[in-house]
Structure 1
Amino acid sequence: MSLYERPVGDALSKRFEAAFMPNYGVPPLALARGEGSKVWDVDGGEYLDLIGGIAVSSLGHAHPALVEAVSRQVATLAHTSNLFLHEPEVLLAERLLDLLAAPGRVFFTNSGTEANEAALKLAVKYGKTNGRTYFVAAENSFHGRTLGALALTGKASIRDQFGPFPVDVRFVPYGDAEALKSAVTEECAAVFMEPTQGEAGVVPPPAGYFKAVREICDANGALLVADEIQSAIGRTGHWFAHQHEGVLPDVLTLAKGLGGGMPIGACIGFGPAGTIFAKGDHGSTFGGNPVSAAAALAVLDTIEKDGLLEHVRTVGAQLADGIAATGHPLLAGVRGRGLWLGVLLTADRSAQVQAAAQGAGFLVNALQPDVVRLAPPLVITSGQVAAFVAALPAILDEAADA
């Protein structure tokens, strides 16, 4: 029996199934520890982590800078609530605005869906103030699981059973500027858009699309909200994916890679959008707590100090080119930017690829039936990328025959 078929951490899995709601099912692997871009399961199996906690583990596992920052902060001041301020949150907000090179205001949350909830609430207030009644988002988009964020999510399979929703959202095909132009009028409060669609299968927009989105929003007075929950903090080789086209949104949402594993998100409003909320309009007890803020500062400092943006561009190109050169019948291509890639298949075999990869010591994500997602730590080495590329033909062979 191969490694990925055996009941890894069987006892722990049974306890998980008995104690947890069934929305996740039972995950196929019980992890015990990690170091760099590698993780080990409870039975001692070793894997190269090419998922990175769904684009979260920017610095990999147990990075010394993150360990030191979190340990120091939790031993000093772990929580204040929003009744008091603390220096790490101020430093982090200032640092983000500096990286964005634009005047703005920051609201910290605990997750991506909360960041999008804050952005939606901000846009609702903007709409009520200006007589605007509806929102526009993209088909196959994903903005979160809470009801407001889910209202903006263009995936019927996870959306429809929880409607009706409290806001009017109109969906357009992603990448179709003409369809967006027709949908956005002076009654539209905001357009919510991912610079690259993540959960849809790592789908980048056509060249110039985000500039067109910006122009359409400007022409009609609608806010442009860029959801960069997955795509920011160096994931695509830039600090933020919207920088690939030099487009500044009115509102930006962040999470995942910002904390390197600690829970934190942010909703950032630029210019007038930064002051739409008045005192008392929104809040979060845990948002931007000192430990998560310290972790995020360590992530940003390390990315800059270690030149990880250039590293992501170089190693990401090595990974994409290596996959594309594989020439396997099951491989249809590869898309994405930096270390955020979708491996396209010629058949609906992504689950089999994920299982075969796990058996070979690599963790990947069956994102869509015919798309496998790769989002490894930004610190993954060239040698580790080469090892995966070398193993990929055998993985695809096994997946094709399974």
Structure 2
Amino acid sequence: MNALFNNYSRRPICIVEGKGTIVKDSNGKQYLDFTSGIAVCCLGHAHPALVKTVQEQSEKLWHISNLFESPGQVALAESLVKDNHLAHALFCNSGAEANEAAIKLARKHTGKHHIITFKNSFHGRTFGAMSATGQEKIHKGFGPLVDQFTYLPFNDVEALKEAVDETVGAIMLEIIQGEGGIHEVTEEFAQAINEICVNHDILLIVDEVQTGIGRTGTQFAFEQTQLKPDIVSMAKGLGGGFPIGGILATAELYETFGPGSHGTTYGGNPLAVSVAQTVLDHVFNESFLNEVQDKSKYLINKLQEVLPQEQFEIRGKGLLLGIDCGKDVAALVEKAEKEGLLLVAAGPQVLRLLPPLTVTNQEIDEAVEILKKLLVEEKSPVV
């Protein structure tokens, strides 16, 4: 027992150093990091450009609060809306805060408090975001939640049509349910959502906290669908490891968040904004995103070569992939760690692969060899 709360099931290793995809623990053992801090370190560990940005900005200005003009925030916002239909940004510190802001904006703009979300979704652990999350295990023990959230089966068109009425102000979803098992929104479901939102004057909130900033091979995952969100939440990869989150919204919502309607002390501080801008300068580059797509195809092909299709299902896009093993994978995550590969689960039966977007084909080969050993070559790889 130590002075920390025991709210994390921590693994018994201490990571002390990282470079690119490789991290090292306090005993000097090296690992391939296919967690990226849970989709955070999109440019890997200690990327030279990010290190330089932090060093240079830390000698100028760390924090001044949002009482004053912020040219860095303006530039970052412009970079984020340059190539899409969105128009304005608000910056905060995390994905949960981003989703709280998205919920507040939707409720205030529509004057309606009823929001539809989906089972097995994950939107954060603050009260509003937790209430939006369609998982009972996240809710358990905390008493009454924020009300007027309805959880529907994901990709069920008929259930959605039946649930929509004049009280619904917004629909909120992930393009790929990251924590919920790497399940993608279907084309049929996306089309139904579009039609419902237009016909019933309902706002669409897309949670891109995990899928955004190049993780799926495009700037945002919604670009690979027909969905056209009114609000997009983001975090994780936006800062490449430095805490920053935010929302993007269409021009129609601009007046809703006037002075005093929402705020944050640390959100969009000069350090965070400068790092995020450096991340976008790298990731929001066509050649970089094409490389992510190429690496995704390479990784999927390698996995398909070694994993029997009748036993394992590979799901996801870009470098947000899942291997459905059909059985509990907790023990497998531990075994992979012993072999020098760091993984994270996505629900009880799915291994989640989240390497840095800068991962090399050689590192992919090494990871696949470890997975092959654990999943195929051992007699009882999963318990």
Q: What is the aligned counterpart of 1:145 among 111, 125, 135?
A: 125
Gaps of 5+ in 2: none
Aligned equivalents of 1:214, 1:306: Cα separation in 2? 27
**TM-score, normalised relative to structure 2:** 0.95
1:221 is the counterpart of 2:201: yes
Q: Which residue of 2 aligns with 1:377?
A: 356
Q: What is the aligned counterpart of 1:351 among 330, 334, 342?
A: 330
Deviation at 1:103, TM superposition (A): 4.5
**TM-score, normalised relative to structure 1:** 0.91
Aligned residues: 381
Task: Give a deviation string over 1:67-88, Cα, whole Å, max 9, x none.
Answer: 1111111111111111112222
CA RMSD of aligned residues (A): 1.7
SS at match of 2:141: helix
Q: Which residue of 2 aligns with 1:75?
A: 59
1:393 is the counterpart of 2:372: yes
Identify if the C-alpha distance between structure 1 residues 304 and 277 changes in structure 2 by more than 3 Å, giving closer, same or farther: closer
Q: What is the aligned counterpart of 2:346 among 367, 373, 380?
A: 367
Task: Report sequence identity in percent.
Answer: 39
Task: Give a deviation string over 1:350-373, Cα, whole Å, max 9, x none.
Answer: 112111111111111123221111
Q: Which residue of 1 aligns with 2:182?
A: 202
Q: Which residue of 1 aligns with 2:106?
A: 123
Aligned equivalents of 2:226, 2:344: Cα separation in 1? 30
Q: Match of 1:42, as an amino acid? A: S
Q: Which residue of 2 aligns with 1:31?
A: 15
Aligned equivalents of 1:401, 1:137: Cα separation in 2? 32
Aligned equivalents of 1:103, 1:264: Cα separation in 2? 19
Identify if the C-alpha distance between structure 1 residues 163 and 330 changes in structure 2 by more than 3 Å, giving closer, same or farther: farther
Q: What is the aligned counterpart of 2:44 among 60, 65, 68?
A: 60
On the 8 A contact 2:42/2:237 being kept in 1, the answer is yes
Deviation at 1:328, TM superposition (A): 4.8
Task: Give a deviation string over 1:216-243, Cα, whole Å, max 9, x none.
Answer: 1111111100000000011000100000
The equivalences for 1:120-269 within 5 A come to: 120-128=103-111, 132-269=112-249
Deviation at 1:331, TM superposition (A): 4.3
Q: Match of 2:78, as an amino acid? A: E
Task: Give a deviation string over 1:199-229, Cα, whole Å, max 9, x none.
Answer: 0011112224223212211111111000000
SS at match of 1:163: coil
1:316 is the counterpart of 2:296: yes
The equivalences for 1:255-334 within 5 A come to: 255-305=235-285, 307-328=287-308, 331-334=311-314
Higher mean C-alpha displacement, 383-392 vs 168-177: 383-392
Task: Give a deviation string over 1:159-198, Cα, whole Å, max 9, x none.
Answer: 1422312331111111112211221222101111111111
Deviation at 1:307, TM superposition (A): 2.4
Q: Which residue of 2 aligns with 1:11?
A: none
Deviation at 1:54, TM superposition (A): 0.4
Task: Give a deviation string over 1:21-64, Cα, whole Å, max 9, x none.
Answer: 01103333210010011100011000111010000001001101
Aligned equivalents of 1:339, 1:307: Cα separation in 2? 16
Q: Match of 1:391, as an amino acid? A: I
Q: What is the aligned counterpart of 2:96 among 83, 108, 113?
A: 113
